[in-house]
Amino acid sequence: MNGEPQQTDTQGKLRHFLSIEGFRREQLVQILDAAESFAMLPGRQVKKVPLLRGKIITNLFFENSTRTRTTFELAAKLLSADVINFNVNVSATSKGETLLDTLRNIEAMHSDMFVVRHHASGAAHFIAQHVAPGVSVINAGDGRHAHPTQAMLDMFTIRRHKGDFTPLRVAIVGDIQHSRVARSQIMALNILGVSEVRVVAPRTLLPADVRTLGVHVFHDLEQGIEDVDVIIMLRLQRERMDNALLPSAHEYFQLWGLTQERLQRARPDAIVMHPGPINRGVEITSEVADGPQSVILQQVSYGIAVRMAVMSMAMGNRSGDQGT
Protein backbone atom coordinates (compact mmCIF):
# COMPACT_ATOMS: atom_id res chain seq x y z
CA MET A 1 0.00 0.00 0.00
CA ASN A 2 1.68 3.16 -1.21
CA GLY A 3 0.83 6.79 -1.73
CA GLU A 4 2.11 7.79 1.70
CA PRO A 5 3.41 11.34 1.79
CA GLN A 6 7.18 11.51 2.17
CA GLN A 7 8.41 14.07 4.69
CA THR A 8 11.80 14.36 3.04
CA ASP A 9 12.93 14.37 -0.59
CA THR A 10 15.38 11.93 -2.10
CA GLN A 11 18.32 13.90 -0.64
CA GLY A 12 16.80 13.68 2.83
CA LYS A 13 15.79 17.35 2.84
CA LEU A 14 12.61 18.50 4.53
CA ARG A 15 9.48 18.67 2.34
CA HIS A 16 6.60 18.30 4.76
CA PHE A 17 6.64 18.28 8.55
CA LEU A 18 3.78 15.98 9.53
CA SER A 19 5.11 13.85 12.35
CA ILE A 20 8.34 13.32 14.27
CA GLU A 21 8.11 9.64 13.37
CA GLY A 22 10.48 8.61 10.63
CA PHE A 23 13.13 11.30 11.17
CA ARG A 24 16.68 10.44 12.08
CA ARG A 25 18.55 12.03 14.92
CA GLU A 26 20.76 14.22 12.70
CA GLN A 27 17.70 15.54 10.86
CA LEU A 28 16.12 16.69 14.13
CA VAL A 29 19.43 18.20 15.23
CA GLN A 30 19.57 20.07 11.92
CA ILE A 31 16.18 21.65 12.67
CA LEU A 32 17.37 22.62 16.17
CA ASP A 33 20.55 24.13 14.73
CA ALA A 34 18.60 26.13 12.18
CA ALA A 35 16.28 27.36 14.95
CA GLU A 36 19.33 28.44 16.92
CA SER A 37 20.25 30.84 14.13
CA PHE A 38 16.82 32.47 14.36
CA ALA A 39 16.47 32.45 18.13
CA MET A 40 16.08 35.72 19.94
CA LEU A 41 18.85 36.81 22.18
CA PRO A 42 17.60 37.98 25.55
CA GLY A 43 16.29 41.52 25.33
CA ARG A 44 16.70 41.78 21.59
CA GLN A 45 14.18 41.44 18.76
CA VAL A 46 14.66 38.74 16.16
CA LYS A 47 15.56 40.27 12.83
CA LYS A 48 13.26 40.03 9.87
CA VAL A 49 14.94 38.02 7.12
CA PRO A 50 14.01 37.91 3.42
CA LEU A 51 14.21 34.10 3.06
CA LEU A 52 10.60 33.54 2.00
CA ARG A 53 9.89 36.84 0.25
CA GLY A 54 7.19 36.40 -2.38
CA LYS A 55 5.94 33.13 -0.86
CA ILE A 56 2.38 32.68 0.33
CA ILE A 57 1.75 30.66 3.46
CA THR A 58 -1.80 29.66 4.36
CA ASN A 59 -2.75 28.90 7.93
CA LEU A 60 -5.52 26.36 7.45
CA PHE A 61 -7.11 25.87 10.86
CA PHE A 62 -10.08 23.55 11.36
CA GLU A 63 -9.82 23.95 15.13
CA ASN A 64 -9.64 27.18 17.05
CA SER A 65 -6.18 28.03 18.27
CA THR A 66 -5.21 31.65 18.51
CA ARG A 67 -1.89 30.95 20.13
CA THR A 68 -0.40 28.38 17.76
CA ARG A 69 -1.76 30.21 14.73
CA THR A 70 -0.25 33.47 15.92
CA THR A 71 3.23 32.03 16.40
CA PHE A 72 3.10 30.45 12.93
CA GLU A 73 1.91 33.76 11.51
CA LEU A 74 4.66 35.69 13.25
CA ALA A 75 7.29 33.18 12.15
CA ALA A 76 6.10 33.44 8.54
CA LYS A 77 6.13 37.23 8.64
CA LEU A 78 9.64 37.31 10.10
CA LEU A 79 10.65 35.22 7.09
CA SER A 80 9.01 37.90 4.87
CA ALA A 81 6.29 35.56 3.56
CA ASP A 82 2.72 36.69 2.98
CA VAL A 83 0.24 34.99 5.28
CA ILE A 84 -3.38 34.06 4.75
CA ASN A 85 -5.43 32.88 7.71
CA PHE A 86 -8.20 30.49 6.89
CA ASN A 87 -10.45 29.40 9.73
CA VAL A 88 -12.58 26.61 8.35
CA ASN A 89 -14.18 25.91 11.70
CA VAL A 90 -16.70 28.65 11.19
CA SER A 91 -17.22 28.47 7.44
CA ALA A 92 -17.08 25.68 4.92
CA THR A 93 -17.26 22.32 6.66
CA SER A 94 -20.42 23.28 8.50
CA LYS A 95 -21.99 23.63 5.07
CA GLY A 96 -20.95 20.09 4.19
CA GLU A 97 -17.90 20.87 2.07
CA THR A 98 -15.35 18.07 2.20
CA LEU A 99 -11.80 18.70 3.35
CA LEU A 100 -10.59 18.00 -0.17
CA ASP A 101 -12.96 20.59 -1.65
CA THR A 102 -11.79 23.17 0.89
CA LEU A 103 -8.20 22.36 0.00
CA ARG A 104 -8.81 22.65 -3.76
CA ASN A 105 -10.49 26.02 -3.28
CA ILE A 106 -7.62 27.45 -1.31
CA GLU A 107 -5.08 25.92 -3.68
CA ALA A 108 -6.83 27.73 -6.52
CA MET A 109 -5.94 30.98 -4.74
CA HIS A 110 -2.31 29.84 -4.82
CA SER A 111 -0.31 28.95 -1.77
CA ASP A 112 3.22 27.64 -1.32
CA MET A 113 2.68 26.15 2.09
CA PHE A 114 -0.17 25.01 4.26
CA VAL A 115 0.05 25.10 8.02
CA VAL A 116 -2.71 22.75 9.07
CA ARG A 117 -4.59 22.08 12.27
CA HIS A 118 -7.47 19.60 12.24
CA HIS A 119 -9.44 17.60 14.79
CA ALA A 120 -8.95 14.25 12.99
CA SER A 121 -5.77 12.20 13.46
CA GLY A 122 -4.10 11.75 10.08
CA ALA A 123 -5.52 14.97 8.57
CA ALA A 124 -2.08 16.47 7.86
CA HIS A 125 -0.97 13.26 6.11
CA PHE A 126 -4.19 13.35 4.11
CA ILE A 127 -3.62 16.94 3.01
CA ALA A 128 0.03 16.26 2.14
CA GLN A 129 -1.19 13.39 -0.03
CA HIS A 130 -3.49 15.66 -1.99
CA VAL A 131 -1.64 18.97 -2.39
CA ALA A 132 0.06 19.96 -5.64
CA PRO A 133 3.65 18.66 -5.91
CA GLY A 134 5.36 21.98 -5.09
CA VAL A 135 3.38 22.70 -1.93
CA SER A 136 4.64 21.96 1.59
CA VAL A 137 2.48 20.96 4.53
CA ILE A 138 3.32 21.68 8.17
CA ASN A 139 1.25 19.86 10.77
CA ALA A 140 0.13 22.27 13.48
CA GLY A 141 -1.74 19.50 15.31
CA ASP A 142 -3.97 16.67 14.02
CA GLY A 143 -6.35 14.99 16.43
CA ARG A 144 -4.41 13.03 19.01
CA HIS A 145 -1.73 12.11 16.50
CA ALA A 146 1.04 14.67 16.25
CA HIS A 147 2.13 18.24 16.89
CA PRO A 148 5.70 18.09 15.66
CA THR A 149 6.65 21.79 15.81
CA GLN A 150 5.51 21.92 19.45
CA ALA A 151 7.69 18.90 20.20
CA MET A 152 10.65 20.52 18.44
CA LEU A 153 10.31 23.76 20.36
CA ASP A 154 10.26 21.68 23.52
CA MET A 155 13.43 19.90 22.37
CA PHE A 156 14.95 23.29 21.60
CA THR A 157 14.12 24.50 25.10
CA ILE A 158 15.61 21.37 26.64
CA ARG A 159 18.79 21.69 24.59
CA ARG A 160 19.18 25.36 25.50
CA HIS A 161 19.06 24.45 29.18
CA LYS A 162 20.68 21.05 29.26
CA GLY A 163 22.94 20.84 26.24
CA ASP A 164 23.36 17.12 25.67
CA PHE A 165 20.22 14.96 25.43
CA THR A 166 21.81 11.59 26.15
CA PRO A 167 22.10 11.66 29.96
CA LEU A 168 18.63 13.14 30.51
CA ARG A 169 15.64 11.67 32.27
CA VAL A 170 12.39 13.29 31.21
CA ALA A 171 8.96 12.86 32.82
CA ILE A 172 5.77 13.76 30.96
CA VAL A 173 2.89 14.16 33.39
CA GLY A 174 -0.82 14.16 32.65
CA ASP A 175 -3.25 13.29 29.90
CA ILE A 176 -1.02 11.29 27.55
CA GLN A 177 -4.00 9.50 25.97
CA HIS A 178 -5.55 12.57 24.38
CA SER A 179 -2.32 14.47 23.75
CA ARG A 180 -0.75 14.86 20.31
CA VAL A 181 1.95 16.91 22.01
CA ALA A 182 2.96 14.01 24.26
CA ARG A 183 3.11 11.56 21.34
CA SER A 184 5.41 13.86 19.38
CA GLN A 185 7.55 14.64 22.44
CA ILE A 186 8.02 10.96 23.25
CA MET A 187 9.15 10.21 19.70
CA ALA A 188 11.50 13.20 19.57
CA LEU A 189 13.07 12.44 22.94
CA ASN A 190 13.69 8.82 21.98
CA ILE A 191 15.14 9.73 18.58
CA LEU A 192 17.42 12.31 20.24
CA GLY A 193 18.59 9.55 22.54
CA VAL A 194 17.65 10.63 26.07
CA SER A 195 18.41 8.10 28.75
CA GLU A 196 14.79 7.66 29.89
CA VAL A 197 11.32 8.91 29.02
CA ARG A 198 8.70 8.48 31.73
CA VAL A 199 4.98 9.04 31.58
CA VAL A 200 3.08 9.75 34.78
CA ALA A 201 -0.71 9.49 34.80
CA PRO A 202 -3.69 7.55 36.09
CA ARG A 203 -4.50 4.54 33.90
CA THR A 204 -7.52 6.27 32.36
CA LEU A 205 -5.27 8.88 30.76
CA LEU A 206 -2.75 6.46 29.25
CA PRO A 207 -3.12 4.93 25.78
CA ALA A 208 -3.25 1.16 25.34
CA ASP A 209 0.17 -0.56 25.30
CA VAL A 210 1.78 2.80 26.09
CA ARG A 211 5.13 1.08 26.81
CA THR A 212 5.46 0.28 23.11
CA LEU A 213 5.95 4.01 22.53
CA GLY A 214 9.25 3.67 24.38
CA VAL A 215 8.40 4.96 27.84
CA HIS A 216 8.45 3.83 31.45
CA VAL A 217 5.07 4.10 33.13
CA PHE A 218 4.43 5.61 36.56
CA HIS A 219 1.15 6.24 38.29
CA ASP A 220 2.64 7.99 41.32
CA LEU A 221 3.84 11.54 40.63
CA GLU A 222 6.56 11.63 43.27
CA GLN A 223 8.10 8.37 42.09
CA GLY A 224 7.68 9.43 38.48
CA ILE A 225 9.65 12.65 38.84
CA GLU A 226 12.32 11.23 41.15
CA ASP A 227 15.72 12.42 39.90
CA VAL A 228 14.47 13.63 36.52
CA ASP A 229 16.11 16.51 34.66
CA VAL A 230 13.01 17.69 32.83
CA ILE A 231 9.33 17.69 33.84
CA ILE A 232 6.75 18.33 31.14
CA MET A 233 3.26 19.00 32.50
CA LEU A 234 0.27 18.54 30.17
CA ARG A 235 -2.93 20.52 30.21
CA LEU A 236 -5.94 18.75 31.70
CA GLN A 237 -9.16 19.30 29.78
CA ARG A 238 -12.32 19.81 31.81
CA GLU A 239 -14.24 17.28 29.71
CA ARG A 240 -12.16 14.41 31.16
CA MET A 241 -14.32 14.66 34.27
CA ASP A 242 -17.53 14.47 32.19
CA ASN A 243 -16.32 11.34 30.41
CA ALA A 244 -15.74 9.48 33.68
CA LEU A 245 -11.99 9.42 33.19
CA LEU A 246 -11.35 11.30 36.42
CA PRO A 247 -13.47 11.97 39.49
CA SER A 248 -12.63 15.66 39.93
CA ALA A 249 -10.10 18.39 39.26
CA HIS A 250 -9.59 18.45 43.02
CA GLU A 251 -8.50 14.83 43.20
CA TYR A 252 -6.35 15.26 40.10
CA PHE A 253 -4.50 18.13 41.70
CA GLN A 254 -4.15 16.19 44.95
CA LEU A 255 -2.49 13.27 43.19
CA TRP A 256 -0.89 14.60 40.01
CA GLY A 257 -0.62 18.37 40.48
CA LEU A 258 2.95 19.68 40.52
CA THR A 259 3.71 21.61 43.70
CA GLN A 260 6.96 23.19 44.88
CA GLU A 261 7.22 20.50 47.54
CA ARG A 262 6.90 17.65 45.07
CA LEU A 263 9.31 19.34 42.70
CA GLN A 264 12.03 18.69 45.31
CA ARG A 265 11.96 15.04 44.23
CA ALA A 266 13.39 15.95 40.85
CA ARG A 267 17.03 16.94 40.35
CA PRO A 268 17.78 20.36 41.84
CA ASP A 269 18.48 21.82 38.39
CA ALA A 270 15.38 20.24 36.80
CA ILE A 271 13.37 22.45 34.48
CA VAL A 272 9.57 22.54 34.36
CA MET A 273 7.84 22.82 31.00
CA HIS A 274 4.22 23.09 29.83
CA PRO A 275 2.91 23.45 26.26
CA GLY A 276 0.20 25.81 27.54
CA PRO A 277 -2.31 27.06 28.19
CA ILE A 278 -1.80 26.20 31.84
CA ASN A 279 -4.52 25.47 34.40
CA ARG A 280 -3.19 26.99 37.59
CA GLY A 281 -4.22 24.88 40.56
CA VAL A 282 -5.23 21.90 38.41
CA GLU A 283 -2.02 20.44 37.02
CA ILE A 284 0.47 22.98 38.38
CA THR A 285 0.64 25.57 41.17
CA SER A 286 1.36 29.21 40.40
CA GLU A 287 4.40 28.93 42.62
CA VAL A 288 5.93 26.35 40.26
CA ALA A 289 4.62 27.87 37.03
CA ASP A 290 6.10 31.25 37.90
CA GLY A 291 9.06 29.86 39.83
CA PRO A 292 12.76 29.80 38.97
CA GLN A 293 12.69 26.30 37.48
CA SER A 294 9.84 27.12 35.09
CA VAL A 295 10.80 27.71 31.44
CA ILE A 296 7.19 27.94 30.21
CA LEU A 297 7.43 31.44 28.76
CA GLN A 298 10.75 30.69 27.05
CA GLN A 299 9.02 27.82 25.28
CA VAL A 300 6.62 30.28 23.70
CA SER A 301 9.32 32.57 22.35
CA TYR A 302 11.46 29.65 21.15
CA GLY A 303 8.38 28.44 19.30
CA ILE A 304 8.76 31.27 16.81
CA ALA A 305 12.40 30.40 16.05
CA VAL A 306 11.63 26.70 15.64
CA ARG A 307 8.71 27.40 13.30
CA MET A 308 10.88 29.77 11.28
CA ALA A 309 13.45 26.98 10.99
CA VAL A 310 10.93 24.35 9.85
CA MET A 311 9.20 26.69 7.39
CA SER A 312 12.39 27.97 5.81
CA MET A 313 13.87 24.48 5.51
CA ALA A 314 10.74 23.03 3.89
CA MET A 315 10.26 25.98 1.54
CA GLY A 316 13.92 26.40 0.72
CA ASN A 317 14.03 22.84 -0.45
CA ARG A 318 10.86 23.22 -2.49
CA SER A 319 12.11 26.21 -4.45
CA GLY A 320 15.32 24.30 -5.17
CA ASP A 321 13.27 21.41 -6.54
CA GLN A 322 11.29 23.64 -8.82
CA GLY A 323 14.48 25.02 -10.38
CA THR A 324 15.49 21.62 -11.72
Partner 1 sequence: MNTSSIHIRGGRLIDPANGIDAEKDIFITNGLVAGVGEKPGGFEAKETIDASGKIVCPGIIDLGVHLREPGEEHKGTICSEAEAAARGGITTLICMPNTRPVIDTPAVWELIRRRAKACGSARVLAIGALTKNLEGEQLAEMGALQQAGCIAVSNTRRRMGNTLVTRHAMEYARTFDLPVILCSEDPHLKADGCMHEGSVASRLGLPGIPSAAETVAVARDLALTEHTDSRSHFHTLSTGRAIEMIRQAKRGGARLSADVAIHQLFLLDTDVDGFHATCHVDPPFRTQTDRDILRQAVASGDIEVICSDHQPHEADAKTEPFPLTAPGISGLETLLPLSLKLVEDGILDLPTVIARLTWGPAQALGLPQGRLDSGRSADICIFDPDEIWTLDPEGMHSSGRNTPFAGWEFRGRVTHTLFEGRTTWRSAS
Residues that bind partner 1 (CB under 8 A): 1, 4, 21, 98-100, 118, 120-123, 125-126, 142-146, 180, 183, 207-210, 212-213
Q: Which is nearer to partner 1, 119 or 250 (CB)?
A: 119
Q: Which is nearer to partner 1, 197 or 304 (CB)?
A: 197
277 is in an annotated binding site: yes
R_g of the chain, CA atoms, integer Å: 20
95 is in an annotated binding site: yes
Shortest distance (Å) from residue 217 CB to partner 1: 12
Shortest distance (Å) from residue 144 CB to partner 1: 3
67 is in an annotated binding site: yes
Shortest distance (Å) from residue 158 CB to partner 1: 22
Q: Which is nearer to partner 1, 100 or 109 (CB)?
A: 100
Q: Which is nearer to partner 1, 182 or 308 (CB)?
A: 182
15 is in an annotated binding site: no
235 is in an annotated binding site: yes
Q: Which is nearer to partner 1, 180 or 318 (CB)?
A: 180
180 is in an annotated binding site: yes
Shortest distance (Å) from residue 18 CB to partner 1: 10
Shortest distance (Å) from residue 21 CB to partner 1: 7
**Binding-site residue ranges for L-aspartate:** 95, 180, 235
Going by the annotation, the residues of the binding site for carbamoyl phosphate are 67-68, 117, 147, 150, 276-277
Task: Indicate the annotated binding residues.
Answer: 67-68, 95, 117, 147, 150, 180, 235, 276-277
